[in-house]
Amino acid sequence: MNPINHVAIIMDGNGRWGLKHKKSRNAGHKAGLNTVEKIIKETIKQKIKFLTLYAFSTENWKRPKREINYLFNLLENFLINKIEELNKQNIKLKIIGIKKFTKKLNKLLIHSEKKTFKNKRLQINLALNYGSKYELVNAFRCLSKNKEKINENSISKYLLTNDTPDPDLLIRTGNTKRLSNFLLWQLAYSEIFFERKLWPDFNDKDYNKIIKKFKNTKRNFGKI
Ligand code: IPE
Ligand code: IPE
Ligand code: MG
């Protein structure tokens, strides 16, 4: 059985869910938050140490302002209401992405990271204004500036995930088969599961099914 250290998730399908059920994309984002809580709980139960959640990509700025504002408002309220509980549960929150938001959100993110920094049970990497190509370009720039040798270790060291092992599995909900600029380097050998359900409909049972399948997959890493 394969051990699992790190699960990465592209939480896709909120907008479609919202339109279908409540005639508003934003309602889907709100409903998606409940799934986030369920999946965090189950990740702890499964004793998985790292969970990376794709919440907002560098490309998502192309969406209407109203939707973007709604999303960041949701996140602000989530952090204000839940950070104490996450901390109590010994969860560490780390933001991966370019931290260029409103002053209020920047402050809240830094506060949440600092507060939970020493926690050990589960690390949640929240990918926010994250783009894998940007992350790689930034790593190469740092290497060149510091005149460091270029190899796999040195590149990994300058990625935003430098304290996290590569994902064992990637899940993308929402019935779309693409990576959308997520963890291109880190996913080199991950098992990939594309899930038909939209993110707000995804639940712990679905999650466990995927985990079970993953555990029984023969991982070769080039060997036979
Ligand atoms: C994913 O859901 C969440 C974010 C990108 C913030 P979408 O909003 O992309 O939902 P669909 O794919 O349009 O249904
Ligand atoms: C990927 O979903 C980003 C997040 C889930 C945050 P998108 O819905 O933005 O991806 P594309 O644009 O359909 O590829
Ligand atoms: Mg989408």
Q: What is the CATH number of the domain that holds 195?
A: 3.40.1180.10
- On whether the CB atoms of residues 190 and 166 are closer than 8 A, the answer is yes
Identify whether 222 is part of a domain.
no
pLDDT at 5: 98
- Give the mean pLDDT per block of 10 residues along the chain (224 residues): 98 98 97 98 98 98 98 98 98 97 97 98 98 98 98 98 98 98 98 98 98 98 96
Q: Which of 60, 87, 138, 203 is catalytic?
A: 60
**Looking at residue 182, what is its pLDDT?**
99
166 is catalytic: no
Residue 180 is assigned to a structural domain of this protein: yes
Distance 180 CA to ligand 2 centre (A): 6
Range of the domain at 119: 6-131+169-214
Q: 142 lies in a domain?
A: no
C-alpha neighbours within 13 Å on the C-beta side of residue 27: 9
Closest Cα to atom 3, ligand 1: which residue? 12
State the total domains in the chain. Answer: 1
Is 136 inside any structural domain? no
pLDDT of residue 207: 98
Examine residue 102 and state whether it is found in any structural domain, yes or no.
yes
**Distance between first and last Cα of the chain:** 16
Domain annotation covers residue 138: no
C-alpha angle with apex 202: 201 to 206, nearest 5 degrees? 135
160: in domain: no
Residue 96 domain-assigned? yes
| Rounded alpha-carbon distances, angstroms, from residue 53 to 14, 79, 124 | 14, 15, 7
* Residue 115: per-residue pLDDT: 98
